Copies of this chain bind each other. A is one copy, B any other.
């Protein structure tokens, strides 16, 4: 593939930033990649992994003369990054981000963007429970959705360029309004993570059942939740703080439904339980049919793996 940008600045080099770096290199999408992160230690690791062609702890320096600036930091750090790069990002440059919440990121970054800079908020729906520059890998975005939430009046040419970039990484690009994005992600991503964190916390706090019992017998269901609950604490703290309204709305719905389910259990209303437990099965089928998950039982986990280590 030929280079799409002369210089790309990657601000933040965690799971997402480093995966983008791997793909830019693999596909030759830029002549130069400048990696910036605040932590000297992380920067050193990024250099060891050869994720870029230049390395700096200054976002401002990284943004200088970059044609594309990709901000991959916890959403709570968006405003400070915007402030830092405001003075150095060049006219005509595209500035985008990968944050899991969009209305908040727009409110934090947009006011600081100089005129003639194309700020296009984005969100690749990709990742794993791992974090840091070592967690990234080429192909992470292959076949995954990337959602743009463009601000009214965004330059069509800039949009097209950024769309082409993500499509080169294998992504399917969608566009929607920032508020709708935040509602959609609140249910498909934020609520599931919060619920997973919560149930793992509950299990950890029990007196009647020991933590070692929870771990020992976790394969009977519990372990599925521990994967999401192992996600980056800083990232998820910021998501909770910056998509508050949508998350609280979904939490209210969830709790209301759970109270209904709890009551059905208390009063032995088997029909209500059976109705719900059958309905949810159909949704799993649709997800598998849509190619959004594997159909192999138990996510294809090896079924004799426990013996090796236990």
Contact = CB atoms under 8 A, between A and B. Distances in A.
B273 A237 contact: yes
Contacts of A199: 191-192, 195, 254
A241 B270 contact: yes
A222 B290 CA distance: 14
B297 A301 contact: no
B276 A197 contact: yes
A310 interface: yes
Interface of chain A, helix or strand or loop or mixed? helix
Contacts of A2: none
A227 interface: yes
Contact of A306 (B184, B204, B291): B291
Given A214-B283, A230-B281, 20 more contacts: A188-B222, A189-B217, A194-B265, A195-B258, A198-B276, A201-B257, A201-B280, A202-B253, A218-B292, A218-B293, A219-B293, A224-B224, A229-B277, A230-B284, A233-B278, A241-B273, A291-B305, A292-B306, A293-B301, A300-B301
Interface of A: 125-130, 135, 137, 139-140, 142-145, 170, 172, 183-185, 187-206, 208-209, 211, 213-231, 233-234, 236-238, 240-241, 244, 247-248, 250-251, 253-255, 257-259, 261-262, 264-266, 268, 270, 273-274, 276-281, 283-287, 290-294, 297-310
